[in-house]
Amino acid sequence: MRIISKILLLYMALFVGCYHDKEEELVPCTADTSHVHYAPEVTSVFTSYGCYGCHVGTAPEGGISLEGYTAVKKLVDNGRLLGAISHAPGFAPMPHGAPKMSECDINIIKAWVNAGAPDR
């Protein structure tokens, strides 16, 4: 009986250990998502993933401009921003040719969108 419960405990510890590994972010998520603004929160996320390297100027990649609030708000309203960064089916996964953004950063954008994507 005792051995069985020890084995059981070990199993649970291993399971919890693995589960924890998967969920854990390499960098702890400390972002405050209670009040996200277009600038600086959303624009900083775009900057850190190099979005502006492809999506500004007169001929942005894919014809998609992230230049300025109005352009980004349009991609919020037609669902393409969240579709692309969450790798939803039917959308081109962004950032292009790079790993998916961290859950932490995706949550910053989601929180902003859910709050109505305010300009400030």
Among 17, 28, 89, 97, binds ligand HEC (CB under 6 A): 97
**Do 60 and 51 touch, CB atoms closer than 8 A?**
no
Among 36, 42, 49, 112, binds ligand HEC (CB under 6 A): 49
Q: Is 72 in the site for ligand HEC (CB under 6 A)?
A: no
- Which own/partner contact pairs does 82-86 have at CB distance under 8 Å and 24+ positions apart? 82/109, 82/110, 82/113, 85/109, 86/110
Choices 3-11, 14-22, 34-42, 43-51 (CB under 6 A): range interacting with ligand HEC: 43-51
Residue ranges in 1-40 that form contacts with ligand HEC under rule CB under 6 A:
none
Residue choice 41, 42, 55, 112 for contact with ligand HEC (CB under 6 A): 55
Residue 108 as a binder of ligand HEC (CB under 6 A): the answer is no
Kindly list the residues in this chain that would bind ligand HEC in the complex (CB under 6 A).
46, 49-51, 53-55, 61-62, 64, 75, 80-81, 84-85, 91-92, 94-97, 101
